Structure 1
Amino acid sequence: MLDRLDLLVIGECVADIVRLPGAADQVHPGGSPANVAYGLARLGHGATLLTQLGPDGNGRLIRDHLTGAGVEVRTDDATAPTPSAAVTLDGAGRAAYTFEIGWTLGPVSLDRPPHHVHTGSIAAVMEPGAATVLGAVESLRTAATVSYDPNVRPELMGDHAS
C-alpha cells in the first residue's frame, strides 16, 4: 500500500507588502492556507501545500519560508505572478489596501492520497482556480477528511449574495 500524505492544504500564498511613509517596502509571506500549512509543519505534522507561486522574488521568498518550516510545496506549471496584498499606512496610521491577486491554479497530481485536506479563503471562491480546488476536494473526500475555512475577504469575493 502507498504511504499517505499526512495533511494536504490547497490554497493561496500571498506576499503581504507593508508600505510606510519614507521607508522601503517590507514583504512578508502570507495567505491563509499557506499560514495553515506553515503552522502544521512547525507543529511537526507532514504538511503539503498545493498552491500557485510565480517565478518572481515574492514567490521565492514565500517558497523558502514554507520549505524552511518543513512544508512540501507543490505548484502547477503556471507562470502567473505571485499574488500580493499591499497595505499603505499614512502619517496618521490609516491603512489603504491594494490587492493584486489572481488565482489560476491548474491541476497538480499527487503521488499519494492525504489523510486530511484543508482549504478555504480566496482559493475556494476565485475562478478559475476555485474549480481546481473543488475538483480536488471532491475527488479526495471519500479517502480523507476535509476542513474548510471561509476566511471571508469581501473586497475580493464579490457581492454578499453571491
Structure 2
Amino acid sequence: MTVTFRINGAETQVSESPDTPLLWIIREHLKLTGTKFGCGAGQCGACMVHIDGSRAFSCLTPLAYVAGKTVTTIEGLSRDSTHPVQKAWLAESVPQCGYCQSGQIMSAADLLAQTPKPSREAIIEHMSVHICRCGTYPRILRAIERASQGDE
C-alpha cells in the first residue's frame, strides 16, 4: 500500500504495509532518527510526534492512519532549535542521557500549543505519559514553565 502524507513540511509517499508502525517509517524509511524507540507499547513517550498538530505515540500509530495527514517530528519542530521549548530545555540543562528528550519536547510543545500558560498541575498531568530514566523531571517542569512565560 502506498501512503501519502506530509512530514516536517514535505510531502512524502511510502509503500509499506498499512499496519507498519509510523515509528519505523520515520526511523528506517525516512532516516529521521530524532524520534526514538523506547518501549514499543506507548508507555514511555520516547517516540512522540505530532499528527495534524496533536501529539501521538508513533510506535502505536499505523502508517495507514497518517494518509493525507501532517506529521511533525523533532527535526521539524524548528530547523534551528529556536522553538521556545527547545530554548528553555537548553536554558534549564534538561538533558542528561537525552534519550527521551525528543519525545518530551514534542509533548511539551503540544501542551503549550493547547494551553499557553498551563498550571504546574496541568504540566505534570500532560507529561505523565513520559518516562525519563535519568529522573530529570524537575528540570523538565522548570523548562516548560520557563517556555510558558516566554523566558527561554
For the criterion TM > 0.5, the same-fold answer is no
TM-score by length of 2: 0.28
Q: Which has the larger radius of gyration?
A: 1
TM-score by length of 1: 0.27
> Quick check: which one's strand share is greater?
1
